[in-house]
Amino acid sequence: MTFCEYRPGLEGIPATQSSISFVDGQNGILEYRGINVEELAQQSTFLETSYLLIWGGLPTQEELDEFEHEIRFHRRLKYRIRDMMKCFPESGHPMDALQACAAALGLFYSRRALDNPVYIRDAVVRLLAKIPTMVAAFQLMRKGNDPIQPRDDLDYAGNFLYMLTEREPDPLAARIFDICLLLHAEHTINASTFSAMVTASTLTDPYGVIASAVGTLAGPLHGGANEEVIFMLEEIGSADNVEAYLDNCLRQKTKIMGFGHRVYKVKDPRAIILQQLAEQLFEKFGRDEYYDIALAMEQAVSERLGHKGIYPNVDFYSGLVYRKLGIPTDLFTPVFAIARTAGWLAHWKEQLGENRIFRPTQIYTGPRNAPYVPVEKRQ
């Protein structure tokens, strides 16, 4: 066996072979199963794209209809899950609530029949169907309201916005939200996907796999960056303050949220599309006051940090879109999780195909043969 040098964060080290998605970070290209994400954003839907990611090819009309029908049928939550959620503190972060709920699904549905295609299909359908309902239910419950039932006449994105806001969404808003989900559905071996794969490799149940990925997505260096971007724009307050804010960040060596990426060294292709979606929303529903700050920020960061390949990532403009759609800031990361469930499930399924448990090695840097010092002699 050959050993390669230690690379913090496993940068550049292949952890698997995968045919799910492809990123060219120098040229800003993202493809799902070989299809450019821009083309999918124009022509596909989140559920069709989820099918593509998970089952490996675009569905026929009949296959798509069946998949969508199954997902509609499984959107409701068991009353015991809703009762469990009622015990969550209102001040708790919705990502923590989602992680607990995803894991709890395993109590009801886990049989760990991983060699049974019906079990795999059921798990895919249940997770894609129920995660949005859980996110919306927690939002209503923490406001003191009963969660509302999903509506079978609304599509995936429209139904989520309806369950969240208790109002039937504008069709443009629903379509734009669906594209946002599609854009966040998959992104090679990022931290949460890697987490899902490691968990999957132990052959545990898929609900545990998704719960572990949700926990990983929650951090501010990963999915949590989208809400941090809004806090940052709030703190900056006006486009005139951007330069001073940036000076301060650079002086203190703090990361600017929504910028930089391990793989992309140009503007993230998803950020380009999300910015266009934000503009479409502003045109129809009015401009967001933070957009001018965001534009000034993008320009200033590109001028000052562009030489290091630091440009807006997916999280920079997604928050502005979600804000305009009326989604509360601390639900931005759960919304990311709704979308990324498709990618996590695709990797779970791929991992099961040729599984070997993840068991990397380490470079030990501690002492050896150290004596045990009795407590009374310790200083």
Q: Show the site string, 256-275: x = touches ligand CMC by CB under 6 A, - = not.
A: xxxxxxx-------------
φ/ψ region of 347 (left if φ > 0, alpha if ψ in -120 to 50, else beta) reads alpha
Any contact of residue 208 with ligand CMC (CB under 6 A)?
A: no
Interface with ligand CMC by CB under 6 A: which range of 70-78, 255-263, 283-291, 368-376?
Answer: 255-263
Closest CA to 208 of 218, 216, 200, 219: 200
Q: Show the site string, 6-35: x = touches ligand CMC by CB under 6 A, - = not.
A: ---x--------------------------
Instruction: Report the residue closest to ligand CMC, judged by CB.
Output: 260
- DSSP state, 4? P
Any contact of residue 255 with ligand CMC (CB under 6 A)?
A: yes
Q: Per the structure block, which two tokens stand in for 209?
A: 């796999």
φ/ψ region of 188 (left if φ > 0, alpha if ψ in -120 to 50, else beta) reads left
Q: Under rule CB under 6 A, how many of the chain's residues touch ligand CMC? A: 20
Q: How far is the CB of 83 from ligand CMC (least distance, A)?
A: 32
Q: Is 10 exposed, middle or buried (0-12, 13-18, 19+ CB in 10 A)?
A: middle
Dihedral angle at the C-alpha atoms of 359, 365, 369, 371, nearest 10 degrees?
-120
Q: How far is the CB of 372 from ligand CMC (least distance, A)?
A: 38
257 or 294: CB nearest ligand CMC: 257
30 or 257: CB nearest ligand CMC: 257
Q: How far is the CB of 303 from ligand CMC (least distance, A)?
A: 13
Interface with ligand CMC by CB under 6 A: which range of 233-241, 304-312, 349-357, 366-374?
Answer: 304-312
197 or 257: CB nearest ligand CMC: 257
- DSSP state, 240? G
Angle (CA) 55-183-56 rounded to 5° is: 10
Any contact of residue 225 with ligand CMC (CB under 6 A)?
A: yes
Q: Per the structure block, which two tokens stand in for 301?
A: 């960061």
Tell me how far CA of residue 344 lies from CA of 116, 117, 141, 190, in angstroms: 19, 17, 27, 10
Any contact of residue 190 with ligand CMC (CB under 6 A)?
A: yes
Q: How far is the CB of 138 from ligand CMC (least distance, A)?
A: 21
81 or 181: CB nearest ligand CMC: 181
| CA–CA distance, 27 with 96 (Å, rounded to integer) | 36
Annotated catalytic residue within 184, 187, 222, 261: 261
The reply to whether 261 belongs to the active site is yes
Query: Which member of 133, 195, 313, 351 binds ligand CMC (CB under 6 A)?
Result: 313
Any contact of residue 223 with ligand CMC (CB under 6 A)?
A: yes
Q: How far is the CB of 116 from ligand CMC (least distance, A)?
A: 33
Report residue 111: phi and psi, to 5°. Answer: -125, 0
Annotated catalytic residue within 155, 205, 268, 315: 315
The reply to whether 315 belongs to the active site is yes
77 or 183: CB nearest ligand CMC: 183
Q: Is 145 exposed, middle or buried (0-12, 13-18, 19+ CB in 10 A)?
A: exposed
163 or 213: CB nearest ligand CMC: 213
| CA–CA distance, 313 with 316 (Å, rounded to integer) | 6
128 or 183: CB nearest ligand CMC: 183
Tell me how far CA of residue 173 lies from CA of 95, 110, 184, 283, 324, in angstroms: 24, 36, 17, 12, 9
Q: What is the DSSP track for 95-150?
A: HHHHHHHHHHHHHHH----TT-HHHHHHHHHHHHHHHHHHHHHHHHHHTTPPPPPP
Closest CA to 303 of 256, 238, 254: 256
Catalytic residue positions, numbered: 261, 315
Residues of the shown chain interacting with ligand CMC in the complex, contacts defined by CB under 6 A: 9, 190, 221-223, 225, 255-262, 305, 308, 310, 313-315
